[in-house]
């Protein structure tokens, strides 16, 4: 993996749309804390396929935009939306002054009818470029440990290259705790002459059961030594969080030393764990 210590790392933070007004107030306070300390290049807001969740992303983007010093990047996914709905959403974001997107296929929530006209993220990237030209800086998702539905590692990597070449400016990875998976993935991109930043996604370790459940679903591996130690701390949340901060801060440090172009923090709408990691960097 090539190392460019001259360029400054770019940090970003991800939120999900809160369900209540109280949740929104808390999120705005979290945004302020992170803005004042990390001053991220952008805050991204996740997107849920299906009517009400889709609208919550737009509303959250509107609320977070009231702090003019923050740049907001909505996630947009093609699963569960028609081309017309996607185009309307792109127009709404352009009218709001948004010029950055995280562009995904998405996952369909259980029980919601699937009406997608675009089937994969590469088609959505091409659609956004067709409709809006170079207006948006486009991020796509990358999977150093491979996407759980992929037919094979090679097929998954080829699909990633197609998606990036459809017009992405940068990629953010699924989280991982095996640094070799990331460095190998970046090397494969270099060998394929794909020259876009591949920014590691960083998941803080806050809660044992949630992390295990989520990782099993999204295909992120938790190494045995981490899993066993977390299990041993299951009823001792302070020790679990201290251990988690230590593991994740060390991973972040190693990634930056290896030349990662930045870090994208999955904040889970909380600032505390991220700020503890940040203090250690």
Residues binding ligand FAD (CB under 6 A): 46-48, 75, 77, 102, 104-107, 120-122, 141, 147, 149-150, 155-156, 159, 163, 172, 174, 201
Task: Tabulate helix, strand, coil % of the chain (nearest 5).
Answer: 45, 15, 40
Q: How far is the CB of 264 from ligand FAD (least distance, A)?
A: 7
CA 158 to chain centre: 20
Residue closer to ligand FAD, measured from CB, 126 or 240: 126
Residue closer to ligand FAD, measured from CB, 56 or 75: 75
Given strand 10-15, what is the order of strands in its sheet?
198-199, 170-173, 137-142, 100-104, 72-77, 42-45, 10-15, 262-266, 201-202
Q: How far is the CB of 201 from ligand FAD (least distance, A)?
A: 5
Q: How far is the CB of 146 from ligand FAD (least distance, A)?
A: 8
Q: How far is the CB of 152 from ligand FAD (least distance, A)?
A: 9
Q: Count CA within 13 A, CB hemisphere, residue 89.
A: 26
Residue closer to ligand FAD, measured from CB, 149 or 180: 149
Residue closer to ligand FAD, measured from CB, 176 or 241: 176
Q: How far apart are CA 232 and CA 242, in angstroms?
A: 13
- Residue 120's SS3 state is coil
Task: Classify 273 in phi/psi space as left (phi over 0), alpha (psi -120 to 50) or beta.
Answer: alpha
Active site residue 14: yes
Tokens representing 195 are 């020259």
Residue of 14, 123, 139, 145 marked catalytic: 14
| Active-site residue set | 14
């Amino acid at each position: 993996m090539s190392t460019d210590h001259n360029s400054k790392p770019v940090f970003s933070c991800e939120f999900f749309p809160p369900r209540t007004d109280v949740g929104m107030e808390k999120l705005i306070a979290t945004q302020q804390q992170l803005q004042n300390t990390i001053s991220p290049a952008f805050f991204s807001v996740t997107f849920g396929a299906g009517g009400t969740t889709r609208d919550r992303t737009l509303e959250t983007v509107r609320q977070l935009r009231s702090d003019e010093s923050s740049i907001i990047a909505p996630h947009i996914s093609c699963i569960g939306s028609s081309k017309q709905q996607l185009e309307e959403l792109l127009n709404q974001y352009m009218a709001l002054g948004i010029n950055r997107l995280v562009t995904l296929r998405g996952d369909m929530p259980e029980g919601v009818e699937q009406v997608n006209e675009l089937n994969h993220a590469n088609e959505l990237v091409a659609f956004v470029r067709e409709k809006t030209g170079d207006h948006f800086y486009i991020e796509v998702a990358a999977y150093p440990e491979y996407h759980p539905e992929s037919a094979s590692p090679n097929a998954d990597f080829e699909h990633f290259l197609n998606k990036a070449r459809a017009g992405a400016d940068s990629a953010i990875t699924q989280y991982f705790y095996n640094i070799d998976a990331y460095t190998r993935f970046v090397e494969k991109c270099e060998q394929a002459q794909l020259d876009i930043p591949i920014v590691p996604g960083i998941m803080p370790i806050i809660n044992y059961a949630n992390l295990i459940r989520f990782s099993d679903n999204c295909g992120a591996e938790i190494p045995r030594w981490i899993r066993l130690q977390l299990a041993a701390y299951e009823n001792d949340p302070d020790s679990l969080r201290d251990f988690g901060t230590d593991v994740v801060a060390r991973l972040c440090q190693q990634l930056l030393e290896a030349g990662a172009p930045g870090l994208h923090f999955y904040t889970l709408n909380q600032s505390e764990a991220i700020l503890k990691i940040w203090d250690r960097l």
